[in-house]
Structure 1
Amino acid sequence: MNERILNTLEFDAVKQLVAQYLVTEPGKEELSQLTPTSQATTVAQWLAETEDGLKVQRLRGGIPIPKIENIRPQMKRIEIGADLNGVELAQVTRVLTTTNELTRFLDDLEDAEIEFQRLYEWRDKLVTLPELTRQLKTAIDEDGRVTDDASPELKAIRHSIRRSKQTVREQLDSIIRGGNAKYLSDTIVTMRNDRYVIPVKQEYRGVFGGVVHDQSASGQTLFIEPKQIVEANNRLRSQQIAERREIERILAELSAALVPYRRDILQNAFVIGRLDFINGKACFGQELKAIVPTISEENHVVFKQARHPLIDQEKVVANDIMIGKDYQAVVITGPNTGGKTITLKTLGLLQLMGQAGLPIPVEEESVMGIFEEVFADIGDEQSIEQSLSTFSSHMTNIVAILKKVDEHSLVLFDELGAGTDPQEGAALAIAILDELGAKSAYVMATTHYPELKVYGYNRTNTINASMEFDVDTLSPTYRLLIGVPGRSNAFEISKRLGLDTSVIDAAKAIMDGESQDLNEMIADLENRRKMTETEYLELRHHVEEAEKLHRDLQNAYTYFFEEREKEIAKAKRKANEMVEEAKADAETIISDLRKLQLAGGQTKVKEHKLIDAKSRLEDLHQEEHLQKNKVLKKAKEAKKLKAGDEVLVTSYGQRGTLVQKMGHDQWQVQLGILKMTLPEADLQSVAPAKEPVQRVVSTVRSNTASHVATQLDLRGKRYEEALNEVDQYLDAAILAGYPQVTIVHGKGTGALRQGITEYLKGHRSVKSYEFAPANQGGNGATIVKFK
């Protein structure tokens, strides 16, 4: 897109609105480089990502992304062999931990069978480095400080430093207490040049001996290191130097460990930035009540109830804006201050936003096109430097547009032909519109010239439009009326303001008949439009009632069908039970008959008759069909038992082993030293028992991994119930090994929030807690980090 149109339609102002929802530097960099594109495939991918982001926003409240700094300079430095400091390593660590958290978050969404168009593709581009992440998290805390656990040597050195400091302070405290206080300016222990000293009055400088490190501005106080602690201070200083060297060694070692994974880390930072950008677009869309439009291959634009994104959404008037399908040119006429220019800018800006992959403030089922270029001539562009008049400036711009425009262009003209003689200006405007029509360009133009009202009726693929004006209130309504040209309201306004009727009649007589006829035609069209609108509203009411009735009937039919299937299934089960009983009796009879035959009795029964009788009994069995449902199929498979399986006897709550089947739906089960015959419905297949220790560990991990979410929602809960639930939830989250969780308590009166804060203060496993970022709930949610 040309830079001129982005400035004219204030595309950068929209980007600034999106920027407030971004939390990472890579995401902000992604936004800064965003410009509309005419590549259909790219636009479709961007919009698909935005739709995914809006879906996550609805289902999970957004993608959880912390603040991430730009780490490219750090990666460049380690590439050339430099070492990173603690803060820089902490920034890299945050990228790696965020990578792990986002991977888990998106995996959970996939496990929940939530479908996305592009989100899982970005997830697959993340590279988790668990060993490197663990090493960095162990050695560097979030503030960039090297921890005691970074190495055994550092831990020992710091332990020695703490003991030495305590020794020095104890010695100094003994010196400043008692009779020595009179020699001191103040009975405190302070530091100068990284050594512990005491403030001694100038006249008593020889009392303590030792080394003078500093003096006060007045010279009355000297900061002296007494000779008794010089050796202890020297020892402490040596330990501090050893600490600094060990820290430098650790930082160098960690920096070297990053080098092989430099590209993976940069890739992760880029993907995190992309996900942050997707989440930011979704937050922007949710705030603006925007949607992702459908793309029209034919460049048909249908923006339903379109709103300008830079106007207060409580005050802006929504309009249906359409171009491309039934007409390629729209001519908006009418007086100033009616909203023509804003309508023009709304069309252009929303089209640019759509081609940049941003959600647009329109209603559902809106459609956008993809234009290779969007041109505009809007506003007074008079140039003093170039000595051009307003008309000359506009014509210079229009000439440049006509040279570049084609059938894939959208052109916006504000006050076309203005700034010169009305007759010549109208003729020029008509000629320019004809030229654009010959090139099949899409055009929306505003004008004052009445000649263009007739043009809108006579030209194919062209339609008139106007901004509605309420004569009763003498003010514009800012509603766009497609198909109705604007008309002058001067006579009606003058009459309402009290101008004498004779003066108004004289003015009408002066007007030529053609202009009067045109105004009367426009007035008649407006009356007809209002009648049609009333009829449409009545018809829409009836359609909505019919749709509601249809939905109710459909729901009733679905309920009836489901209940019928349940009853049929119940009847079949009952019939099968009866058939099974009959088959058992029949088997007994057939067995007796066969025994008689084999024994050479008097009754002769042919074998094929016996087989035929048994076949007829088998045909009485009714099949019970399970619904096409994965859960039901799995349950049916799980119920297939065989000898040797371990089962749970639900009526006794005991585990046992299947020995043999004792008939239809009956099994012999070994329960300890007992053998019992039990119905199959009382048996539930279970996995074989493991060793006790392994079983405990496995169960804990399974339960925590499967059932503990990273977020607890307490909204609507009573105070005592909520605190009890928090207590149980934190124990489960700690057991699951989560580094942090989110507690959503809402804002409300603040009582629940205060209660949770007090509870977290005293919890021994809580490292820190803070309110969530503004884009994740603000003070309506608290993020808790564990030790």
Structure 2
Amino acid sequence: MKIDDKVLNKLDFPKVLARLAEFCILPRAKELALALKPDVDIEFVRMALQKTEEAKNLMRGNPLFSVRGAKEIRAYLERCLRGGVVHGEELLEIRDTLRVGRKTKQYLQEFRESYSGLWDIVLPIESQKSLEDEISRCISEDGNVADNASPELAELRRSINRLQNRIRESLEGTLRNPVYQKMLQDPIITQRSDRYVIPIKQEYRGSFPGIVHDQSASGATLFIEPMPVVQLGNELREVILKEHREVQRILQMLSAQIEGRADEIADLHEALAQLDLVIAKAHLSLDMNAGSPELVTGQQLKLVQARHPLISGRVVPLSVELGIDFDTLVITGPNTGGKTVALKAVGLMAAMNQCGLQIPAESESKMGVFTQLFADIGDEQSVEQSLSTFSGHMKNIVDIINRADERSLVLLDEVGAGTDPTEGAALAMGILAELHERGCRTISTTHYGALKTFAYETPRVKNASVEFDTETLRPTYRLLIGIPGKSNAFTIAGRLGLSEGVLAKANTFVTEREMQVADLIENLGETRREIEIEKLKAETGRQAVEKQSKALEEKSNRLDEEVEILLALARDEASELVREAKREAEALIEELKSALKKENKQQQDIEKARQGFRKISAKLDQGRQIKRTGGELTADQIMLGQTVYMTKVKQKGQVVKLPNANGEVQVQAGIMKVMVPLTELKLAQEEKKAAPKRAREMGMGFRKAEEIRSEIDLRGMLVTEGTEALDKYMDDAVLGGIGMIYVIHGKGTGAMRAGIHDFLKGHPHVRSFRLGEYGEGDSGVTVVDLK
């Protein structure tokens, strides 16, 4: 069972998918995004929303996380499966995609417990490291087959170089020969048809021995291959043909390896596309300031302060519920009041939720899963089918009634419109009554006043209206649940200048009952507005109290921290006094001993004095044991990555090693790592507020920082992306104590290398940098010495 595309089109759902596709990197992910359809299985929807939330959480800690570097390789795989050959640049794209897949799985494997949904996506990826290495060995970064791809190719290319040098030397000798200099049109060596030639004047054709390969447009110049190099040219041509055959053999060999692993590579590419789609969902959520609603069983929804996802700028939020206290909602009120926008917003939220897309609404929102979504919105007039607007709507509604059940969400815009008002209102009530009896969740907009009474008198049916400001003659777009709308026709007409006489005559045609209903509606509306104003005041007051309470708590915490600092200073001063007293006492005793060492009695007096000093010192030591405030830590409280405050040096740092046998903890403060006793540590204020789960995640992050590698690969990135990644990497490297790093940017056009070098000049972490030497990557690598 799936939701009709026609319904999704009416809700403008494809526009949401188009925005989602813009955040995708891989073409395959864009295809998946545009083909996304709401699912009707609650567990599937739950897992899809979980993956989106995991991707958002992951991006908060690593904003650069993506599948960037992977390429569209499906066409290459298909060519290999048909026995075709994949060429140099294409092989590099396959290699880069394999590398991204392997590294992405390695990264997520470290956090698979925290991101179990994302881990499930990359689980099918199988490492193809050997194939990556083989492509890297055989194909250089410029896309050509490398010399060391095979011993035969290396020898052939050496032979080509030797023959080209011999030909060039022979031709240069000819150019220098005085006999031929007057025959030369220009003293240069050039090529025609892959043969080395010299431009000779036409009149010396018979005097210059050689083979003519070309002629200038004017005929004044002949391009002649001198006879002494003809044989060498023939040999060169043969070797070049052999070299081409060897290159083709290597490409066929690599293509055959890809063909043998085509299924695994295709699975890897598909997994990356699926991951790319989930990351795009997270980006879209951040762009819309969206979040996951509470997913509930049963067909119900509660939207709190929801914003239409396709309307930019200032949007009046929508709060609506259905399937909780009532199953059918009838929205009444004038045109241009925003009823249709509200209807579409509800349908879009349901469709987005069931696609695993987070919705732009507050966290208190709740959504169920609907097995069918029906909508009759907009002009259904059809020239091709000779249908009027009324007939078009009726055709849709007949289809809805034939298919809708208690698990369906039905959205009807201006139900019963387009015909006689009396019959239209009766028909609308009949349609709504039928859908309501079936248990459908229905939202309908209407002009008909009779439906207001129907909503009042029918259990689990509720009136609603879009508020209209009669002073400005503009809708406020605020949906009021429980209050039916009124047409405001007389009020609007009067404000626009219609005479009181005409309005009085019009009033005579309104029945007394209708006037009573209108007055009742107006009174209800005023009462509801007063209630809303009071609620707003109460909410404002509550927020002010919470803000004040938070400020007082922060002030109290700051005072506690200042007291701790003062106590630490007092302890330090007391300790210094004790140490100074001990030093003076020891010096005095030593002087006495050396002056009176021959007199035993006086020596005994000295020892007694020493004991006295020790008693004084013990009292001082006891006096400096100031009552602790509970901020000191024990060994079982310490976790990797925690932020702690070092009371002795009055600095904050992060725990990078747990306490040793001596009760000392290694703490990183800036670029320095120091060993600090447990007694001189306490939790930093923000660490006290942090959740245990977050602390564990930080611990994982610090373990990763300790294992940071001394190289970064920027190939496949744009210059701006490369410099951003390098900047973050150098911060991590400096924190990790790495002194020298290798930046792999490839050779290519040289644009990335130039951009990286410009970025490194004057960077505060950089002492010096240079291109790699032989064995370090040559000009494809820059070696950076960090401060």
Displacement after TM superposition at 1:374 (Å): 0.4
Instruction: Supply the distance in 1 between the matched residues of 2:728 and 2:264 (Cα, whole angstroms).
Output: 42
Greater mean alpha carbon deviation, residues 437-446 or residues 474-483 = 474-483
2:103 equivalent in structure 1: 101
Q: Secondary structure at the match of 1:445?
A: strand
Q: Secondary structure at the match of 1:488?
A: coil
Q: How does 1:596-607 map to 2 (within 5 A)?
A: none
Kindly provide the CA deviation profile for residues 77-121 of structure 1, in whole angstroms up to 9, marking residues without a partner as x.
5456554332332222112211232134335656xxx82241233
1:59 equivalent in structure 2: 61
Change (3 A) 1:243 1:430: same
Judge conservation of contact 2:466–2:480 (CA < 8 Å) in 1.
yes
Instruction: Supply the distance in 1 between the matched residues of 2:368 and 2:729 (Cα, whole angstroms).
Output: 55
2:660 equivalent in structure 1: 638
Q: How does 1:146-295 map to 2 (within 5 A)?
A: 146-169=145-168, 171-172=170-171, 189-200=189-200, 202-216=202-216, 221-295=221-295
Kindly provide the CA deviation profile for residues 695-750 of structure 1, in whole angstroms up to 9, marking residues without a partner as x.
xxxxxx999734769699xx9xxxxxx99978986998895667469xxxxxxxxx
Change (3 A) 1:197 1:279: farther
1:519 equivalent in structure 2: 518
Displacement after TM superposition at 1:443 (Å): 0.8
Judge conservation of contact 2:304–2:319 (CA < 8 Å) in 1.
yes
2:576 equivalent in structure 1: none
Instruction: Supply the distance in 2 between the matched residues of 1:564 and 1:314 (Cα, whole angstroms).
Output: 48
Q: Secondary structure at the match of 1:469?
A: strand
Judge conservation of contact 2:299–2:441 (CA < 8 Å) in 1.
no
Judge conservation of contact 1:354–1:368 (CA < 8 Å) in 2.
yes
2:307 equivalent in structure 1: 307
1:349 equivalent in structure 2: 348
Instruction: Supply the distance in 1 between the matched residues of 2:227 and 2:736 (Cα, whole angstroms).
Output: 54
Judge conservation of contact 1:704–1:736 (CA < 8 Å) in 2.
no
1:19 equivalent in structure 2: 21
Displacement after TM superposition at 1:515 (Å): 2.9
Displacement after TM superposition at 1:326 (Å): 1.8
Judge conservation of contact 1:5–1:376 (CA < 8 Å) in 2.
yes
Kindly provide the CA deviation profile for residues 241-263 of structure 1, in whole angstroms up to 9, marking residues without a partner as x.
22212212222332333455333
Q: Secondary structure at the match of 1:118?
A: helix
**Letter of the 1:343 counterpart:** A
Instruction: Supply the distance in 1 between the matched residues of 2:678 and 2:491 (Cα, whole angstroms).
Output: 89
Kindly provide the CA deviation profile for residues 518-575 of structure 1, in whole angstroms up to 9, marking residues without a partner as x.
332232222222211221111112222343455567778999999999999xxxxxxx
Judge conservation of contact 1:36–1:355 (CA < 8 Å) in 2.
yes
Q: Secondary structure at the match of 1:360?
A: coil
1:89 equivalent in structure 2: 91
Kindly provide the CA deviation profile for residues 218-266 of structure 1, in whole angstroms up to 9, marking residues without a partner as x.
6555443333432333233233222212212222332333455333222
Instruction: Supply the distance in 2 between the matched residues of 1:66 and 1:192 (Cα, whole angstroms).
Output: 44
Displacement after TM superposition at 1:399 (Å): 0.4
1:44 equivalent in structure 2: 46
Q: 2:9 aligns with which of 7, 17, 37?
A: 7
Q: Secondary structure at the match of 1:196?
A: strand
**Letter of the 1:211 counterpart:** I
Change (3 A) 1:75 1:680: closer
Judge conservation of contact 2:125–2:268 (CA < 8 Å) in 1.
yes
2:477 equivalent in structure 1: 478
1:139 equivalent in structure 2: 138
Instruction: Supply the distance in 1 between the matched residues of 2:388 and 2:108 (Cα, whole angstroms).
Output: 59
Change (3 A) 1:638 1:432: same
Judge conservation of contact 1:90–1:143 (CA < 8 Å) in 2.
no
Greater mean alpha carbon deviation, residues 758-767 or residues 118-127 = 758-767
Displacement after TM superposition at 1:405 (Å): 0.3
Instruction: Supply the distance in 1 between the matched residues of 2:523 and 2:91 (Cα, whole angstroms).
Output: 75
Q: How does 1:391-406 map to 2 (within 5 A)?
A: 391-406=390-405
Judge conservation of contact 1:295–1:368 (CA < 8 Å) in 2.
yes
Displacement after TM superposition at 1:318 (Å): 2.5
Instruction: Supply the distance in 1 between the matched residues of 2:729 and 2:353 (Cα, whole angstroms).
Output: 48
2:599 equivalent in structure 1: none
2:441 equivalent in structure 1: 442
Judge conservation of contact 1:150–1:250 (CA < 8 Å) in 2.
yes
Q: How does 1:308-707 map to 2 (within 5 A)?
A: 308-311=308-311, 313-548=312-547, 551=550, 626-630=635-639, 638-639=660-661, 705-706=707-708
Displacement after TM superposition at 1:639 (Å): 0.5
**Letter of the 2:340 counterpart:** T
Count of paired positions: 646
**Letter of the 1:95 counterpart:** T
Judge conservation of contact 2:635–2:659 (CA < 8 Å) in 1.
no
1:765 equivalent in structure 2: 771
Kindly provide the CA deviation profile for residues 627-682 of structure 1, in whole angstroms up to 9, marking residues without a partner as x.
544459998873179xxxxxxxxxxxxxxxxxxxxxxxxxxxxxxxxxxxxx9999
1:28 equivalent in structure 2: 30
Change (3 A) 1:202 1:320: farther
Instruction: Supply the distance in 2 between the matched residues of 1:508 and 1:142 (Cα, whole angstroms).
Output: 85
1:603 equivalent in structure 2: none
Displacement after TM superposition at 1:757 (Å): 6.6
Displacement after TM superposition at 1:465 (Å): 1.8
Judge conservation of contact 1:48–1:117 (CA < 8 Å) in 2.
no
Judge conservation of contact 2:373–2:408 (CA < 8 Å) in 1.
yes
Change (3 A) 1:454 1:134: same
Kindly provide the CA deviation profile for residues 22-44 of structure 1, in whole angstroms up to 9, marking residues without a partner as x.
11233233324421110111111
TM-score (norm 2): 0.72
Judge conservation of contact 1:704–1:735 (CA < 8 Å) in 2.
no
Judge conservation of contact 1:84–1:255 (CA < 8 Å) in 2.
yes
Judge conservation of contact 2:26–2:70 (CA < 8 Å) in 1.
yes
Q: Secondary structure at the match of 2:707?
A: helix
**Letter of the 1:764 counterpart:** R
**Letter of the 1:279 counterpart:** I
**Letter of the 1:56 counterpart:** L
Displacement after TM superposition at 1:141 (Å): 3.4
Instruction: Supply the distance in 2 between the matched residues of 1:384 and 1:374 (Cα, whole angstroms).
Output: 26
Judge conservation of contact 1:488–1:519 (CA < 8 Å) in 2.
no
Percent identity of the aligned residues? Answer: 37
Instruction: Supply the distance in 2 between the matched residues of 1:681 and 1:488 (Cα, whole angstroms).
Output: 75
Change (3 A) 1:358 1:174: farther
Instruction: Supply the distance in 1 between the matched residues of 2:711 and 2:28 (Cα, whole angstroms).
Output: 28
1:297 equivalent in structure 2: 297
Q: Secondary structure at the match of 1:278?
A: helix
Change (3 A) 1:560 1:247: same
Instruction: Supply the distance in 1 between the matched residues of 2:525 and 2:704 (Cα, whole angstroms).
Output: 70
**Letter of the 1:57 counterpart:** M
Change (3 A) 1:119 1:735: farther
Q: Secondary structure at the match of 1:467?
A: strand
Change (3 A) 1:154 1:428: same
* Structure 2 spans left out of the alignment, 5+ residues: 568-632, 643-654, 664-676, 681-702, 715-719, 721-726, 747-754, 774-779
Instruction: Supply the distance in 2 between the matched residues of 1:316 and 1:634 (Cα, whole angstroms).
Output: 47
Change (3 A) 1:192 1:310: farther
Kindly provide the CA deviation profile for residues 590-609 of structure 1, in whole angstroms up to 9, marking residues without a partner as x.
xxxxxxxxxxxxxxxxxxxx
Instruction: Supply the distance in 2 between the matched residues of 1:549 and 1:637 (Cα, whole angstroms).
Output: 39
Judge conservation of contact 2:711–2:743 (CA < 8 Å) in 1.
no
**Letter of the 1:19 counterpart:** A
The alignment status of 1:756 with 2:759, answered yes or no, reads yes
**Letter of the 1:509 counterpart:** T
Change (3 A) 1:205 1:342: farther
Instruction: Supply the distance in 2 between the matched residues of 1:144 and 1:29 (Cα, whole angstroms).
Output: 28
Kindly provide the CA deviation profile for residues 259-289 of structure 1, in whole angstroms up to 9, marking residues without a partner as x.
5533322221121111111111112222222
Judge conservation of contact 1:412–1:444 (CA < 8 Å) in 2.
yes
Judge conservation of contact 1:68–1:95 (CA < 8 Å) in 2.
yes
- How well do the aligned residues superpose, as a CA RMSD in angstroms? 4.5
